[in-house]
Structure 1
Amino acid sequence: MKRKTQSLRIFQYSLAFLFILVLGSCYKDKGNYAYNMPIEPKIIGLDTLYNAMVGDSLIINPTFENIAKEDIECTWEIAVPEAIDPTQYKYVGNSVRTIFGLQAKLYNARLTLLNKSNGIKYFHDFKIQGQTEFSKGSLVLSIENGTTQLSFVKPNGEVQPRIYEAINLKPLPSIPLSIHYISNKFTGNTPLGYWIVCKNDGVRINVNNLKQEELKSGTIKDNFFLPPASIDIGNLQKHEQGVLMGVINNKFYGGITTTWDQANTYGMFGNYADGDYELSDKFVMLNINNQVSFVGFEKTRKQFLRFNVYGAPMYFGTQYTVSSTATFDPTNLGLDLLHIVQINNTDIYAYAKDASGQIFELKFNVNFNGPFTFTPLHKIAFTNQQILNAASKIVATRVGNIFIASGNKVYRYTPINQNLTEIETKFTADITMLKLTEDEQSLVVGAGTSIYYTNITTGSNGTLKEKIDGLPGTSIDMTWR
């Protein structure tokens, strides 16, 4: 037994000594290895984004360095979610030369480069933006001798008049109100179409070819799950998720956003926001931290109303707390609303008149996403009673300026100091359209058969930048992409 114990101890000591020798060898050998990494092939002339005209040639022809020509094997793939057979958008060869037959969408693509000498693959991702002749430019909605017209304005200012009827071989509905380019902000600004809104109907057209939609609802009448007996549209605005929301038949409607935005039912109208109210067509949409709410106005009771969006618009009426009624009482205003605009996420200005015709400026803040408060800030007589009426056009910038068009003049109004000045550009015809570009660097004015782009950047008071002539009739609204 003693001899076995001694033998076990000798074995344990030998094993420990061997382990120490191995560690020492590893330590001494540290850093003695030389790695011969293969040189990575270099691809010259492969862009990150390609613009491809639908129906035209798509050519991608890069060159390669640090790799022998005979060792190159390239595979190109375009990810096309709507494709029935994705393999038809897979190409083999050192270049791609094909006819781009996809839609005017943004597609992800990948080049896989195989070095056949060592079997190593290299991946390079890029994008392809499909385009048509209508992918860049503006659409102008106008009225010509009582007929609704749609014109396309190319980036160089060239006008293609009456284009809707030329493409669709039928007229638009009468009494045009607005036009909207709709896209879903939350899915990478996916284009969903154009909505042309008229008094008793509207038409949705495809962004690629300007044809009336066939798979999705092609008209506003078709955009209802249960259409009302008649349609009287007051005002529809676009929501950031690519649907229309606003006033129809004096009630508040909103397109559904609870399905996939490519579904045929996306954006359709369900029931209106249920409640006892007769809504003015003037309202503002608030978006604070991606929480949308609306300030509306009840025409009969003359009170400001709260609407929230919880999957669909919901009517809450005057279910909000008023901080003080000393300035004015929003639940019992006693005035008729003419216009309402939002300066930024807090300041809202409304213009309303009393029974004698005097016009007042109301300033207030709301928080309709909790704790649901309404804060009146001031009520004053407007500085120039003659320029504001129901026919006036009015827009507001985020930096605090309000532009008012009355007759053939446009004024810049600063509500902080009540300064009112006419802009420098002059117009010979009455103004029928007033818009801001998305960057709010230009004020776009429609007067007669022309559109004027005026400079409203800091230090400039509406100097003329560009004029587009030759529109059919007088402009009502426009949009661009």
Structure 2
Amino acid sequence: MKNKIICLIALISFFHSCMKDKGNYDYNFDLEPELTIDTLPGQMPELYKTWDVGAKITYEPKVEYKNGNEKNLTYTWFVMNYVYRQEQVGNSLQYPAPDTICTTKKLDYVVDLTPGNQYQLHLTVRDTVTGISVSKQFSSFLPIPLPDDNYSGLFCLYEKDGKTDIDVLQSPRAMILGSNIYRNVFSKSNPTAPLTGKPVMLEYSYTGRWFYIFTENQGLRVAPTGLQVMDTWENGMFYNAPTTYKPQRFMSLNNTDFLINNGKLHVLYASIAGDRKFANPIIESGELSPFLSSSTINTYRPVTGAISAYQIVFNKTKGAFQPFYNKGVNFGQFNSPTPDVLFNVNKVEGDPVYINTVNGGETAAIMKLNNGKYMLNVARFYDVVDDGKLTRYYKPLDGLQDLANAKVFESGLGGPAIFYGAGNKVYSYSYTTGQTTSNLIWEGEAGDEVTCMKILPTGGYPSGGRVLWIAVWNEAKNEGKIIDCEINPVSGLLELQVSAWVGVMENPTVTTGFGKVTQMMIKTMYD
């Protein structure tokens, strides 16, 4: 009781002192200070673009401090590694200190960061009197390009006026590729030994970190820095080079390079030290279609007992999808289907027109039946148990305009939309939306021909899976161009969304000055 009386006296004395105090205080118990930073990305395109070393970046954020004194605010702009993890310091693990790049409200910074790295950009605003603070992560994926002799972007293999070469287009819409165009990069790096013959295929090994360039006359393995030739088809690329030269499809997956040549699969295990040669073809009767899966094994919380194939192929002689397992000498076979499946993955009806891995790991195959009609067969071999129920969709494609005239197809893991080019038009079709007809998403002028397409791969950046490039050639004008679009990977329609974050308000945009591009591939500055 005595303690309670003492506390009550102290509390009364405190309020009495406050009432008598005539000092310079500004109390308002009804209005708490509220500190915020504007989070609308469309108002800060500079912070979502690729930053070049030496470039000057300026941006002033919108900061609101309701019921507070802005004179008390301090501002700290800082960057940290995109993958922010602990580092060994002496005998302990510590998180590295962020790099402060500016201490004023307006960001005014000349880029001095490591080329080829990627960063996060943050701003912290703090009231030094009240201690109230707020932080904003403006860009979670801020890339710094490599030097010019290690190109990144959309690599375009082309022919023009009897010459074969490579142009590199960097697209601001893609966010991670920069904003330059590099012309004739192979011949500039190899002036005495340019590419010969018509272009066939251009690919990049994400495991071996090298390019493959195939023309009708030569096959090369090329280093990314300086584009110097490492090996040739005849010398260094194979243990025993195939006598028939007919490269058809390449895929880099599971730390392994896969190459289909003349209907046969060759495998190179990049994880084996000192081994960068393709082995003899996998033993199999029949001819493989030019299809290789881009998704086979899920390494993050996989389904227990899921199919663990290193690669999936389609044997068009047998009409069968077949798994290939690590270090295998031949192909396996999927389990016999249950009676209620939509189709038999071991005996698919028709001839393959186009097969690709789409929509987060599903395999979509457009098949032409004996009666001339087209069917879409969709199965899933990725992160599922082979219980005899691998099929997902089986749809007639009678309503798809110009499909019989289509020569170019493209699709991606970002969604179920499939794009195809026929003449000077590009159509899209999505098999999950219920549509029965195709959508015309782009039409060129008379004489234009769509020669190839490429979708930006999915990844940890907002534009992943949302950028479609269309290569167009006009024979009469002897000129080519690249159509740069943002698409919705589910509906297959053009959609302006993340492009606006980097200030690209047109959809599509057109870049001219190209040859006849026969294949495009992506290499980012981190590959």
TM-score, with structure 2 as normaliser: 0.58
Letter in 2 for 1:444: W
- Per-residue deviation, residues 307-364 of structure 1 (Å, max 9, x unmatched): 2231467411x34332337633333334111011222345322111122321111122
**SS across alignment from 1:246:** strand
Instruction: Give the structure 2 partner of residue 118 of structure 1.
Output: none
Q: Does 1:461 align with 2:494?
A: yes
1:145 Cα deviation from its structure 2 partner: 4.5
1:425 Cα deviation from its structure 2 partner: 6.4
Letter in 1 for 2:522: T
- The answer to whether the 8 Å contact 1:425/1:454 transfers is no
- The answer to whether the 8 Å contact 2:257/2:270 transfers is no
Q: Does 1:166 align with 2:188?
A: yes
- The farther-off stretch of 459-468 and 373-382 is 459-468
**SS across alignment from 1:179:** strand
Q: CA RMSD in A?
A: 3.5
Give the distance between the partners of 2:445 and 2:335, measured in 1 at CA. 44
**SS across alignment from 1:164:** helix
**SS across alignment from 1:322:** coil
* Distance verdict in 2 for CA 1:147–1:421, change over 3 Å: same
* Distance verdict in 2 for CA 1:453–1:129, change over 3 Å: closer
Instruction: Give the structure 1 partner of residue 294 of structure 2.
Output: 285
* Distance verdict in 2 for CA 1:131–1:396, change over 3 Å: closer
1:223 Cα deviation from its structure 2 partner: 0.9
Q: Which runs of 5+ in 2 are unaligned?
A: 1-50, 55-113, 118-143, 171-176, 300-307, 458-463, 474-479, 496-505
- Per-residue deviation, residues 80-122 of structure 1 (Å, max 9, x unmatched): xxxxxxxxxxxxxxxxxxxxxxx9887xxxxxxxxxxxxxxxx
* Distance verdict in 2 for CA 1:441–1:314, change over 3 Å: same
How many residues are treated as equivalent by the alignment? 347
- The farther-off stretch of 159-168 and 224-233 is 159-168
Q: Which has the larger radius of gyration?
A: 1
Give the distance between the partners of 1:211 and 1:323, measured in 2 at CA. 52
* Distance verdict in 2 for CA 1:278–1:372, change over 3 Å: farther
* Distance verdict in 2 for CA 1:312–1:230, change over 3 Å: same
**SS across alignment from 1:321:** coil
Q: Does 1:226 align with 2:249?
A: no
- The farther-off stretch of 437-446 and 171-180 is 171-180
1:377 Cα deviation from its structure 2 partner: 3.7
Give the distance between the partners of 2:517 and 2:488, measured in 1 at CA. 26
Q: Does 1:271 align with 2:280?
A: yes
Percent identity between matched residues is: 16
- Per-residue deviation, residues 399-440 of structure 1 (Å, max 9, x unmatched): 322222222111221212125211156455111111111311
- The answer to whether the 8 Å contact 1:393/1:406 transfers is no
Aligned partner of 1:442 among 457, 467, 470:
467
- Greater relative CO (CA pairs within 8 A, separation 6+): 2
* Distance verdict in 2 for CA 1:257–1:161, change over 3 Å: closer
- The farther-off stretch of 150-159 and 348-357 is 150-159
Letter in 2 for 1:453: D
* Distance verdict in 2 for CA 1:104–1:225, change over 3 Å: farther
- The answer to whether the 8 Å contact 1:254/1:312 transfers is no
1:184-333 pair list within 5 angstroms: 184=207, 192-199=209-216, 201-213=218-230, 217-219=231-233, 222-241=236-255, 243-260=256-273, 263=274, 265-266=275-276, 268-290=277-299, 291-301=308-318, 303-311=319-327, 314-316=330-332, 318-324=333-339, 327-333=342-348
- The answer to whether the 8 Å contact 2:355/2:364 transfers is yes
* Distance verdict in 2 for CA 1:286–1:357, change over 3 Å: same
Say which structure is richer in strand.
Answer: 1
- The answer to whether the 8 Å contact 1:177/1:477 transfers is no
Give the distance between the partners of 1:456 and 1:105, measured in 2 at CA. 27
Letter in 2 for 1:295: I
1:282 Cα deviation from its structure 2 partner: 2.9
**SS across alignment from 1:444:** strand
Letter in 1 for 2:205: I
Letter in 2 for 1:252: L
- Per-residue deviation, residues 447-476 of structure 1 (Å, max 9, x unmatched): 121111111148962662432211133342
Letter in 1 for 2:440: E
Instruction: Give the structure 2 partner of residue 474 of structure 1.
Output: 517
**SS across alignment from 1:402:** strand
TM-score, with structure 1 as normaliser: 0.63
1:37-436 pair list within 5 angstroms: 131-145=147-161, 147-153=163-169, 158-168=180-190, 169-184=192-207, 192-199=209-216, 201-213=218-230, 217-219=231-233, 222-241=236-255, 243-260=256-273, 263=274, 265-266=275-276, 268-290=277-299, 291-301=308-318, 303-311=319-327, 314-316=330-332, 318-324=333-339, 327-366=342-381, 371=386, 373=388, 375-382=390-397, 383-384=399-400, 386-388=402-404, 391-416=407-432, 417-418=434-435, 419-423=437-441, 426=444, 429-436=448-455
* Distance verdict in 2 for CA 1:229–1:282, change over 3 Å: same
Letter in 2 for 1:454: C
- The answer to whether the 8 Å contact 1:236/1:244 transfers is yes
* Distance verdict in 2 for CA 1:358–1:454, change over 3 Å: same
- The answer to whether the 8 Å contact 1:253/1:313 transfers is no
**SS across alignment from 1:149:** strand
